[in-house]
């Protein structure tokens, strides 16, 4: 049992709070965290936090914005309640994908001229990502094609195993998508959610198509969120696998960015037969460091998927193509990424790998956000097995996705809390993992 420590849970991940408390041998702090009828948050800390070392567990999942405000309010309540130190434990850090200026990515140029290079493309990516309220996908050949029809017309199909599982928000998104009459050409950004792929695809926004290279003005939300938490009174942040590790520099309080890598590595070693014959694959250039770190540690081969986004003509606004760099034919492939949100990135990557001769495709991801109809997309995809941590709740995803396996990271967070509390090294936590 650890003394003089308080663990307070938000509403985003009760299971994580319970697991961490069990590990530390303490009960969770008694509190009220609810809503006034007008929607404002109400927080009352029922146990004394005076002079205590407080850890508040809240992940960037579910109603992300509500949970973020709740976190700020809980931090402030503890500070005002004379806590000695307040640490925000945020397994998936919200807004950490928005730390800098948005980009109008042109992508790295191919080494050959576009026409000759085209012959060597291993995959042409055309369909936009289907999402709630968005236009209907032109269809992905990997099985998502016709998925919405299956889900709408055949709700009993799940039981028969002949269609991807349905879920209520998927069905509502399907019906709203079919009502969205914009000729299916461009998504209407005022009607549906935005994904990072919209930056990549240089999507038409309110009739305005940005010129390649032109950056639209967009809020720097990552900076604001860092400031909000600090301003609320956070003394310290513990998180895991920040999309951009440099995001730590946006804070002027200590940030411990734990690694999911060790759990993923352990999975590879213990669950993938002859894993040294397999190939670690990064689904995009941005994740190459993360994936090579695992490949190097396990002495495995590495391959990379490069997204070529440079438009050949100005009108060629959706000219993104994927190219595989590396030899994966007749090998097992292990995709490694920090996050699956729409699951567009990993499902497209898996399709490409199977086309290039991969015998089996695993996807190992730290944060399984799985928004919109992404679970249906994963079920219909070329991915054979997808492994995520429970940095956000996974019970519902697991129920809907037979390919999904979940690794429990609560012991890692509990041990990090114990070490921070006792002033012990965090890096030592990973030395023998
Ligand atoms: O394709 P989805 O799942 O929407 O987004 C996940 C990708 O977007 C990037 O920020 C992540 O690193 C990952 O590669």
Q: What is the pLDDT of residues 324-345, one digit of tens each?
A: 999 999 999 999 999 999 999 9
Strand partners, 54: 6, 86
Going from N- to C-terminal start, the domains of the chain cover 5-98+219-257, 260-407
Which residue among 194, 345, 392 is best mutated to probe the pocket of ligand 1, counting the most ligand atoms within 8 A of its Cβ? 345
Q: What is the pLDDT of residues 22-39, one digit of tens each?
A: 999 999 999 999 999 999
Q: What is the atom index within ligand 1 of the atom nearest the CA of 284?
A: 14
pLDDT for residue 192? 62
Q: What is the atom index within ligand 1 of the atom nearest the CA of 338?
A: 12
What is the arithmetic mean of pLDDT over 409-433? 88
- Looking at every residue in the chain, the average pLDDT score rounds to 80
The residue whose CA is least distant from atom 11 of ligand 1 is 339
Q: Which long-range contacts (CB under 8 A, 24 or more apart) does 134-140 make?
A: 134/173, 134/177, 134/180, 134/187, 134/191, 134/192, 134/193, 135/177, 135/180, 135/182, 135/184, 135/185, 135/186, 135/187, 135/188, 136/177, 136/178, 136/184, 138/184, 140/347, 140/348, 140/351, 140/377, 140/380
CATH code of the domain occupying 5-98+219-257: 3.40.50.2020
CB atoms within 10 A of CB 236: 17
Give the Å distances, CA to CA, from 284 to 257, 278, 306, 323. Answer: 22, 18, 5, 10
* Cα radius of gyration rounded to whole Å, the chain: 22
Q: 127 or 210: which carries more pLDDT confidence?
A: 210
Task: Report the distance separating Cα 18 and Cα 26, nearest Å.
Answer: 10
pLDDT for residue 233? 98
Beta pairing, strands 385-389 & 360-368? parallel
Task: Report the distance separating Cα 235 and Cα 426, nearest Å.
Answer: 17
What is the arithmetic mean of pLDDT over 36-49? 96
Q: What is the atom index within ligand 1 of the atom nearest the CA of 287?
A: 12
Nearest to 250 by CA among 215, 288, 220: 220
Three-point CA angle 293, 283, 309, nearest 5°: 125
Which residue among 125, 341, 371 is best mutated to probe the pocket of ligand 1, counting the most ligand atoms within 8 A of its Cβ? 341
Percent helix, strand, coil in the chain (nearest 5)? 35, 20, 45
Nearest to 126 by CA among 319, 360, 294: 319
Strand partners, 257: 239
pLDDT for residue 3? 78
> Does residue 131 surpass a pLDDT of 70?
no
Q: What is the DSSP letter of 378?
A: H
Q: How far is the CA of 287 from the centre of ligand 1 (A)?
A: 10
Which residue among 127, 338, 352, 378 is best mutated to probe the pocket of ligand 1, counting the most ligand atoms within 8 A of its Cβ? 338
> Does residue 77 surpass a pLDDT of 80?
yes
**Local confidence band at 136 (pLDDT 50, 70, 90 cut-offs):** very low
Q: What is the CB < 6 Å shell around ligand 1? A: 97, 195-196, 243, 283-284, 286-287, 337-345
Strand partners, 255: 237
Nearest to 75 by CA among 62, 87, 66: 87
Two structure tokens written together for 342: 């729409």
Q: How far is the CA of 305 from the centre of ligand 1 (A)?
A: 13
**Local confidence band at 197 (pLDDT 50, 70, 90 cut-offs):** low
Q: Are 392 and 2 in contact (CB under 8 A)?
A: no
- Sign for the CA dihedral angle at 337, 340, 342, 343 comes to positive
Fold of 260-407: Rossmann fold (3.40.50)
The residue whose CA is least distant from atom 4 of ligand 1 is 342
3-class SS of residue 261: helix
Q: Are 81 and 6 in contact (CB under 8 A)?
A: no
> Does residue 240 surpass a pLDDT of 70?
yes
pLDDT for residue 299? 97
52-56, 87-91, 181-185, 378-382: segment of lowest average pLDDT: 181-185
What is the arithmetic mean of pLDDT over 92-114? 62
The residue whose CA is least distant from atom 13 of ligand 1 is 339
Instruction: Give 317-363 as a DSSP string.
Output: TT--EEEEES--TTSEEEEEEEEESSSHHHHHHHHHHHHTT-SEEEE
Q: Please state the length of the chain.
A: 433
Give Dmax (Cα) for the chain.
Answer: 70
Half-sphere exposure (Cβ direction) of 419: Cα atoms closer than 13 Å: 16
- Asked if domains 5-98+219-257 and 260-407 share a fold, the reply is yes
Task: Report the distance separating Cα 330 and Cα 285, nearest Å.
Answer: 23
pLDDT for residue 121? 41
Q: How far is the CA of 286 from the centre of ligand 1 (A)?
A: 10
> Which of 171-175, 238-242, 423-427 has maximum average pLDDT?
238-242
What is the arithmetic mean of pLDDT over 154-158? 41
Q: How far is the CA of 95 from the centre of ligand 1 (A)?
A: 13
Instruction: Please tell me the pTM assigned to this model.
Output: 0.78
What is the arithmetic mean of pLDDT over 361-372? 97
Q: How far is the CA of 318 from the centre of ligand 1 (A)?
A: 18
**Local confidence band at 255 (pLDDT 50, 70, 90 cut-offs):** very high
Q: Are 346 and 354 in contact (CB under 8 A)?
A: no
Instruction: Give 7-71 as a DSSP string.
Output: EEE-SS-HHHHHHHHHHHT-PPPPEEEEE-TTS-EEEEE-S--TT-EEEEE--S-SSHHHHHHHH
């Amino acid at each position: 049992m650890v003394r003089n420590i308080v663990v307070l849970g938000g509403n985003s991940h009760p299971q994580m709070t319970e697991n961490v408390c069990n590990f530390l041998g303490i009960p969770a702090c008694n509190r009220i965290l609810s809503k006034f009828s007008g929607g404002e948050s109400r927080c009352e800390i029922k146990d004394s936090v005076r002079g205590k070392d407080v850890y508040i567990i809240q992940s960037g999942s579910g109603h992300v914005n509500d949970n973020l405000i709740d976190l700020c309010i809980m931090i402030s309540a503890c500070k005002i309640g004379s806590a000695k130190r307040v640490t925000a434990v945020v397994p998936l850090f919200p807004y950490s994908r928005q730390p800098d200026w948005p980009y109008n990515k042109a992508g790295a140029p191919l080494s050959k001229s576009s026409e000759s290079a085209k012959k060597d493309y291993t995959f042409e990516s055309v369909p936009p990502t289907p999402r709630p309220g968005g236009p209907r996908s032109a269809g992905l050949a990997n099985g998502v094609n016709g998925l919405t029809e299956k889900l709408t017309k055949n709700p009993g199909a799940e039981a028969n195993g002949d269609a991807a599982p349905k879920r209520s928000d998927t069905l509502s998104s399907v019906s709203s998508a079919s009502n969205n009459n914009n000729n299916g050409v461009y998504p209407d950004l005022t009607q549906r959610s935005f994904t990072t792929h919209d930056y990549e695809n240089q999507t038409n926004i309110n009739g305005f198509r940005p010129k390649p290279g032109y950056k639209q003005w967009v809020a720097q939300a990552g900076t604001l969120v860092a400031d909000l938490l600090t301003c609320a009174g956070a003394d310290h942040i513990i998180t895991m696998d920040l999309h951009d590790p440099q995001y730590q520099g946006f804070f002027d309080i200590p940030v411990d960015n734990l690694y999911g890598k060790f759990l993923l590595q352990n999975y590879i070693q213990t669950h993938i037969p002859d894993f040294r014959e397999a190939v670690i694959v990064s689904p995009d250039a941005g994740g190459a460091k993360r994936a090579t770190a695992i490949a190097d540690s396990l002495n495995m081969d590495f391959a990379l998927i490069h997204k070529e986004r440079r438009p050949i003509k100005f009108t060629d606004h959706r000219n993104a193509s994927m190219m595989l760099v590396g030899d994966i034919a007749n090998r097992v492939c292990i995709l490694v990424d920090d996050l699956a949100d729409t699951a567009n990135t990993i499902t497209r990557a898996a399709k490409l790998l199977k086309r290039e001769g991969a015998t089996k495709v695993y996807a190992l991801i730290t944060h399984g956000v799985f928004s919109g109809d992404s679970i249906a997309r994963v079920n219909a995809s070329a991915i054979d097995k997808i492994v995520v941590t429970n940095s956000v709740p996974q019970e519902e995803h697991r129920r809907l996705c037979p390919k999904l396996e979940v690794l429990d990271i609560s012991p890692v967070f509990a041990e990090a809390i114990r070490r921070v509390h006792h002033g012990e090294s965090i890096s030592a936590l990973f030395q023998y993992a």
